[in-house]
Chain A
Amino acid sequence: MNLYKYLLLFLPIISSLVAAEFPKLSAEWDFSKPEALTAGTFPLKLRQGAEIKDGVLISQTADPKIPGGAVTLKIQPELDFPGAFSLEAVFRVDKAADTREDMLILFDNKYSLGPNEYSGGFNLALRPLGNCEFQPFASFGFGKISCEATGKAVYLEPGKDHTLRMFFSGVGNVLFQVDGEEAGSSMVVSGGLAKARHPGCIGDRTGSMFRPFGNGIAKICLYEERTVPFKTNYAPGYRTVFERGEKNAFLHYTLYNNSGADQINLKLILHNVGKSEETIIPDLKKGVCAEGKIPLDTLLLPGTYTVETMLVQKDGREVNAGTLNYTIVPAYGDFLPLGLNGISKPEKAREFGFTHTTDLYRILEAGGIDEKTRNSRIRSMDRLLAAGLYQLSHVSFFRDGGRNNPKYLRRNRQGRPYLHNPLEVSDPGLIREFCSITEQCLEAMGEHPAVDIAIIDSEVRDSMQPAFGGAEEENFRKFAGYEIPPTVVSKYPAPYRSNPAFPWNHVLPEDNKELTYYRWFWKDGDGWNNIHSLTSDIVHKHMPHHHTTYYEPAVRGVPCWGTGGRVDAVSQWTYTNPDPVKINQAQDELQAMADEHDKPIFNMTQIIWRRNQTAPVDRKPDNMPDWTAREPMAPYITIPPDCLREALWCNISHRVQGLLFHGSGCLFPYEPRKKNYRYTNEETKYVFKEMAFSVLKPLGPVIKRIPERLPEVAILESATASLYAPEHMTSGWSNKWTADLHLALQWAHIQPSIIYEDHLLTGKKMENVKVIFLPGCEALSENVLNKLQELQKQGVILIGDEFLLPALMPDYRVTSVQRTSDPVKSKAELQKLGREIADVLKGHYDSPVDASDPDIVLRRRGNDSADYLFIVNDKRTFGDYLGPWKLVMEKGLPVSGTVTVGHPVKAMYDLVRHTPLDFKNTEKGITFPVELAPGDGKMLLLLDQRIASLDLQVPDQTPARKESFTLTCSALDETGSEIRAILPMEVRIADADDIVLPGSGFYAAENGRLVINEILAPNMSPGKVTVTVKDLASGLEIQKTFAVR
């Protein structure tokens, strides 16, 4: 919103500024004048920690227990304004102000900074945000309640004089200006302030724990302002931002009678986008708000609209009652969500390509949601939606609800709570309480379209342990018909080697009681999957709009189906050091978990890298990079740019429904809240931005839809082996031998998938499996062993390692590679292993794609007629960012080579460059050269037909505004048939004034056809509408026009 609109909002106040008697100077303290303490309107005395020096008041900065600032000699009733007033402060900040206090007080006669009862007066402060950014803050006492107002973050140059002006309207609005520029506004309750109960204090709190301003305040002036007789405002708890096309949208408002007299038969006239509506308010007492609502036409073009309000009093006099704004944002589109945790500046995040953020909106509160919280969160969501972002909400009972409730703590066999106080979530009382609170909170929050995705809990199962003496134990008794075996004391059994009775062949019978318990515990027994199901159900019940629920980290535990219960999707987070292609392993692991119910997957990539793994603080190699001087102790640092680029390419080579990122403090310099996350690489954010706008957004709809191929080569992550020999298993951390084997296969151009025992036993996605790797399978259950032997008899090749249980004879045995801290050596050994495997498999299994260089990593998705080939450059070396420590090769190198595809291809397209590519036919398929920049990738489409032309159907009639219309675009082959592939298309619809209309954007044309149904906006320009469609595979473009009445 620009300054002009704000000025409109405050028109009554602004207009009063030009009136003869207002603003009326009520108090002035100018510290540049001699004898400043006594020369002001009201005399002041300096407190212990303050002095006047060089024309400014300097409050003490050393000890918060020592009062600073200058205080009036007594309580000054003259400073109690009945209605509107403003305060103007001239001040300067020093560089240390960023870190000195959480609030730098300019003026205070309220005493309390936050909300409290029975307060009067007000205070005004700056909240330091770091990097010389400050947010204006004020708190107002209205007697029995207290309200806060905050402005926007503003940069204040240290050492320079700045002017902050705060207007309090007395009718529910607070406006901040810094150096003459609008700096945000807030709504508070209507009416004047209650009388202050404390003397006025400049530069510090008037009492209690002190928050000195520091250096220094030059001048404070207080003005009485004209108070308007009537004022319309936004009704608290209602939205002012709407998605285009939303049904039943209303702008709720209040009308406050500040005229000092009861009013009857007021006529309220609302002018809204060319329409006027009149409402009669029969009776409005003085000091009271009337409420009303204006129906909105959400088919308007996206933008901000203003409702002007006029009042006609009984005697016919007209009074301007202010303006109200509302915003229409584009309807929720088909895009790939790109979420970032910890954003404080949504606009900036959006500029870099992010679509979602997290931290602004928690849904669950332990004691339920009160009205004030609800109102404040709805305002936050409005701001977010208006900024073009959506919210990923945490719905976490563990974090927000019942944590540490002693009634529900999980207890060990001795009846004592476990470390970290995990909850026994099978307790019926807890479930009842949880459902009740969740229902209440979600009901209170209502539906806000900005709240798009809900994260159901996080890491809750990490601290699980078997619960004894309560519902969980009883549940097992009912399930199994016997007691929890006495050997069970932990969420994992004792290592099998410590148990002399463990079968010598490491094969556990299916009815083994301990195995039965642990399978039950990890699948259902610990109760969390049920809680997550219930949470997801309640979220959907109360938020029926485009809402996805997911659970993370979904594969942090024993690999067996069930995690997350009925949540819609599962997610995981992954660090990318030392090898960014780890992302592929994490994604495949997640896919294995999701396979049970074919759930969509998300993936979170850590923007943070752990310093101790990549550039340890206590090691001082030669050529220490510059960032270490700025951030010598940073515990978490920024992911290197080339590694982020590579990770993004790996991510989208999977069928993800959203990409999430953690660690905004490492990505952006202005995110100061996460003090451990330090900004150590300036390039990384630009890599994200470039990838977002050149790849992730244009191709997002396609990336979400291209099907995964059925596995041909699978790595078994065995639940039984994970329980009894967990040392080889990743447990969701994408490390250890099992994960490294995945990397070796990637480098060998053998596309691995991950399967669980559940896949083997149900046969799901096993149809095409030709090779199964069995890393770390030291123990298996009887059924799993039998299934593997059966598959082996059918010709499936089993490849084991030195840990494989004796009961199974592998067709080939590899020796595990145990990683060292030397990334060069580890990568070389794994690549060597990959070559060994490829050689052995030759003739038994030949990968459908191959490349001349192991650092050219390939991954295929698609179906019979369309092959989507992702090519990622993993050639790296030590750079100057982290290279000196020799723990990670973070610097990408260019790579060139050839790629071969083992089946015939008619046409090949580069989906990022939107162009056909040349290739050579070979005996079996094709071969083509590739060149890749550091960390870069390609997304190619290989077809058995050529995209020859585009066809576009536009309305042949002349639709009127507000009417619907349909566009159909087809990509055709040489015979005129639609291409049997999912094609990325860009659509631009523009009206006669070349204003881009709704319906424009990036799409996925399934089976070569795209159909768009849209409704014409009532406020678009009539006349010629031009539709341009570009096929982002071939680069072909087509344009047609139609007329609109």
Chain B
Amino acid sequence: MRTTGLLFVLFLMTAGIYADEHEDVIARRQAFRRDVEAHPEKTTQYLASPDAEVRRYALYLTVQTQGAGAKEVCKACMKDPDEQVRLTALEALLYHCRKDPDVRKLFAETASTDTSRKIAKLASDASWPFHREAVLIRNNPFWDHEVKTLRKDPIPDTEWIFKTDPSAIGHLPNQTWYREKIDEKGWRPIRQGYWERQGYNYDGVAWYRIRFTMPQKMECNAVELAFGAVDESAWVWLNGVYLGSHDIGPDGWNTAFALDCTKEVRWGEENVLVVRVLDTEQAGGIWKPVHVEILK
């Protein structure tokens, strides 16, 4: 509160400098840089500048100097009307104060309230609660045996249901779209293939759900969900349990990947597979077949 008040006073002090709308913006910023270089102590004054670019860089210089000590300044700047200032503040908080409960609360709040999709997503990702080190049997350095595929069953490509998640909130505690049982109202049928070709002209996060039945239990060493390709990133749950992700950026659009589900799979019963897909460009979706592979 005290910091916010200080910023407001400083804003009033400096506002007069920028009264002329036709002033040369480049010259102004050049003057600012010269000033803070010559007088670093004046940096915080500029946190209240009417020029967002000046505020943002003043914030940057402040965090560079104070590190985690700039937490309150950053929190205050999370209310700045300018997206870039908020973004810089958020990134500083993410780096310096990520585990601070106070700040984590701010992340969650920002994820659902910030008007900038970019900031909301960043905050949402920061509060991403799912982590799992997934090592496939083939990649296990301690598994010194040949791996054979005993059975490879396709997941039926016609029974998926689908929902877009433009605000990337589906994984948040108040949503939990990955659970086994949710209200599937509003989810629509979709087939394997690019979602653009099925009427969704959309880039962003979307969720897939499907129910499939496993065969009776077999003697095996591992069970994996093998994805032919998901364009472009995927986070996967089976029966409500997080299995892992495939998230190497746009380059991953055509890369096959597999996730171990040996412990999560329910033999001879219905299973619920949920895939959160992120597509940032061009076509998106689960566009190649998904199989359950039983390995020995």
The residues of A with any CB-CB pair to B shorter than 8 Å are: 414, 416, 419, 489-492, 494-495, 497-498, 500, 503-505, 726-727, 792-793, 797, 802, 806-807, 809-813, 840-841, 843-844
Task: Assess the B251–A726 pair: CB atoms within 8 A.
Answer: yes
Task: Assess the B249–A726 pair: CB atoms within 8 A.
Answer: yes
Residue on B nearest A412 in the bound complex, by CB: B139
Known A-B contacts A497-B125, A727-B281, A797-B26; the reply to A807 vs B60 at CB < 8 A is yes
CA–CA, A491 to B251, complex, Å? 9
Task: Assess the A726–B26 pair: CB atoms within 8 A.
Answer: no
B250 at the interface (CB under 8 A from A): yes
A371 to chain B, nearest CB (A): 43
Task: Assess the A840–B26 pair: CB atoms within 8 A.
Answer: yes
Task: Assess the B248–A492 pair: CB atoms within 8 A.
Answer: yes
A307 to chain B, nearest CB (A): 60
Residue on A nearest B139 in the bound complex, by CB: A414
Give the contacting residue for A809; candidates B33, B94, B125; CB below 8 A. Answer: B33
A274 to chain B, nearest CB (A): 67
B264 at the interface (CB under 8 A from A): no
The residues of B with any CB-CB pair to A shorter than 8 Å are: 24-26, 29-30, 32-33, 53-54, 56-57, 60, 63-64, 83-84, 87-88, 91-92, 94-96, 98, 118, 122, 125, 138-139, 247-251, 255-256, 280-281
A385 to chain B, nearest CB (A): 43
Residue on A nearest B84 in the bound complex, by CB: A802
- Please indicate the chain A residues that have their CB under 8 angstroms from the CB of B251 in the complex: 490-492, 726
CA–CA, A898 to B174, complex, Å? 61
Give the contacting residue for A494; candidates B94, B125, B249; CB below 8 A. Answer: B249
Task: Assess the A495–B249 pair: CB atoms within 8 A.
Answer: yes
Max chain B Cβ within 10 angstroms of own Cβ: one of A810, A840, A841:
A810
The dominant DSSP class at the A interface is: loop
A375 to chain B, nearest CB (A): 43
CA–CA, A419 to B251, complex, Å? 13
- Please indicate the chain B residues that have their CB under 8 angstroms from the CB of A498 in the complex: 247
- Please indicate the chain A residues that have their CB under 8 angstroms from the CB of B91 in the complex: 504, 806
- Please indicate the chain B residues that have their CB under 8 angstroms from the CB of A802 in the complex: 83-84, 118
Task: Assess the A500–B98 pair: CB atoms within 8 A.
Answer: yes
Task: Assess the B53–A810 pair: CB atoms within 8 A.
Answer: yes
Which A-B residue pairs are the 7 nearest by beta carbons? A504-B95, A809-B57, A806-B88, A811-B26, A495-B249, A806-B60, A414-B139
Give the contacting residue for A727; candidates B32, B63, B249, B255; CB below 8 A. Answer: B249
Report 8 cross-chain contacts, Cβ distance below 8 Å, ordered by A residue: A414-B138, A498-B247, A802-B83, A806-B60, A807-B60, A810-B53, A812-B25, A812-B26
Give the contacting residue for A813; candidates B64, B84, B88, B280; CB below 8 A. Answer: B84
B144 to chain A, nearest CB (A): 13
- Please indicate the chain A residues that have their CB under 8 angstroms from the CB of B247 in the complex: 494-495, 498
Give the contacting residue for B255; candidates A419, A500, A841; CB below 8 A. Answer: A419
Task: Assess the A727–B25 pair: CB atoms within 8 A.
Answer: no
Give the contacting residue for A505; candidates B60, B138, B248, B250; CB below 8 A. Answer: B60
A318 to chain B, nearest CB (A): 73
Task: Assess the A726–B250 pair: CB atoms within 8 A.
Answer: yes
CA–CA, A809 to B56, complex, Å? 8
A151 to chain B, nearest CB (A): 45
CA–CA, A793 to B250, complex, Å? 36
Residue on B nearest A413 in the bound complex, by CB: B139
- Please indicate the chain A residues that have their CB under 8 angstroms from the CB of B92 in the complex: 504, 806
CA–CA, A793 to B255, complex, Å? 45
CA–CA, A75 to B64, complex, Å? 95
CA–CA, A732 to B138, complex, Å? 36
Residue on A nearest B128 in the bound complex, by CB: A498
Given A505-B60, A726-B249, A810-B53, 20 new contacts (CB under 8 A) = A489-B248, A490-B248, A490-B251, A492-B248, A494-B247, A727-B250, A727-B281, A802-B83, A806-B60, A806-B87, A806-B88, A806-B92, A807-B60, A809-B54, A809-B56, A809-B57, A811-B30, A812-B25, A813-B53, A841-B26
CA–CA, A273 to B106, complex, Å? 95
CA–CA, A445 to B60, complex, Å? 63
CA–CA, A793 to B139, complex, Å? 51
CA–CA, A726 to B232, complex, Å? 14
A775 to chain B, nearest CB (A): 15
CA–CA, A844 to B25, complex, Å? 11
The dominant DSSP class at the B interface is: helix
B76 to chain A, nearest CB (A): 17
- Please indicate the chain B residues that have their CB under 8 angstroms from the CB of A792 in the complex: 33
CA–CA, A708 to B250, complex, Å? 35
Residue on B nearest A494 in the bound complex, by CB: B248
Residue on B nearest A810 in the bound complex, by CB: B53
- Please indicate the chain A residues that have their CB under 8 angstroms from the CB of B118 in the complex: 802
Residue on A nearest B256 in the bound complex, by CB: A419
- Please indicate the chain A residues that have their CB under 8 angstroms from the CB of B139 in the complex: 414
- Please indicate the chain B residues that have their CB under 8 angstroms from the CB of A809 in the complex: 29, 32-33, 53-54, 56-57, 60
CA–CA, A505 to B249, complex, Å? 21
- Please indicate the chain B residues that have their CB under 8 angstroms from the CB of A414 in the complex: 138-139
Task: Assess the A806–B248 pair: CB atoms within 8 A.
Answer: no
- Please indicate the chain A residues that have their CB under 8 angstroms from the CB of B94 in the complex: 500, 504
B276 to chain A, nearest CB (A): 15
- Please indicate the chain B residues that have their CB under 8 angstroms from the CB of A497 in the complex: 122, 125
CA–CA, A807 to B56, complex, Å? 10
CA–CA, A903 to B91, complex, Å? 48
CA–CA, A419 to B257, complex, Å? 12
B138 to chain A, nearest CB (A): 7
- Please indicate the chain A residues that have their CB under 8 angstroms from the CB of B95 in the complex: 500, 503-504
Residue on A nearest B125 in the bound complex, by CB: A497
A779 to chain B, nearest CB (A): 12
B30 to chain A, nearest CB (A): 7
Residue on B nearest A795 in the bound complex, by CB: B30
CA–CA, A727 to B53, complex, Å? 24
- Please indicate the chain B residues that have their CB under 8 angstroms from the CB of A844 in the complex: 26
Task: Assess the B25–A840 pair: CB atoms within 8 A.
Answer: yes
CA–CA, A994 to B24, complex, Å? 68
A889 to chain B, nearest CB (A): 21
A288 to chain B, nearest CB (A): 61
Task: Assess the B26–A806 pair: CB atoms within 8 A.
Answer: no
CA–CA, A414 to B88, complex, Å? 39
- Please indicate the chain B residues that have their CB under 8 angstroms from the CB of A489 in the complex: 248
- Please indicate the chain B residues that have their CB under 8 angstroms from the CB of A419 in the complex: 255-256
CA–CA, A945 to B219, complex, Å? 91
Task: Assess the A727–B26 pair: CB atoms within 8 A.
Answer: no
Residue on B nearest A792 in the bound complex, by CB: B33
CA–CA, A500 to B255, complex, Å? 24
- Please indicate the chain B residues that have their CB under 8 angstroms from the CB of A797 in the complex: 26
CA–CA, A242 to B243, complex, Å? 69
CA–CA, A441 to B33, complex, Å? 62
- Please indicate the chain A residues that have their CB under 8 angstroms from the CB of B56 in the complex: 806, 809
Known A-B contacts A492-B249, A840-B25; the reply to A727 vs B256 at CB < 8 A is no
Task: Assess the A843–B24 pair: CB atoms within 8 A.
Answer: yes
Max chain A Cβ within 10 angstroms of own Cβ: one of B29, B60, B83, B249:
B249
B121 to chain A, nearest CB (A): 9
- Please indicate the chain A residues that have their CB under 8 angstroms from the CB of B33 in the complex: 792-793, 809
- Please indicate the chain B residues that have their CB under 8 angstroms from the CB of A490 in the complex: 248, 251
CA–CA, A500 to B99, complex, Å? 11
- Please indicate the chain A residues that have their CB under 8 angstroms from the CB of B25 in the complex: 811-812, 840
B53 to chain A, nearest CB (A): 6
CA–CA, A984 to B54, complex, Å? 53
CA–CA, A257 to B281, complex, Å? 72
- Please indicate the chain B residues that have their CB under 8 angstroms from the CB of A500 in the complex: 94-95, 98
CA–CA, A492 to B249, complex, Å? 9
Residue on A nearest B58 in the bound complex, by CB: A809
B31 to chain A, nearest CB (A): 11
Give the contacting residue for B29; candidates A416, A503, A793, A811; CB below 8 A. Answer: A811
Residue on A nearest B281 in the bound complex, by CB: A727
Task: Assess the A504–B24 pair: CB atoms within 8 A.
Answer: no
CA–CA, A813 to B88, complex, Å? 15
- Please indicate the chain B residues that have their CB under 8 angstroms from the CB of A727 in the complex: 249-250, 280-281
CA–CA, A793 to B247, complex, Å? 40
Residue on B nearest A504 in the bound complex, by CB: B95
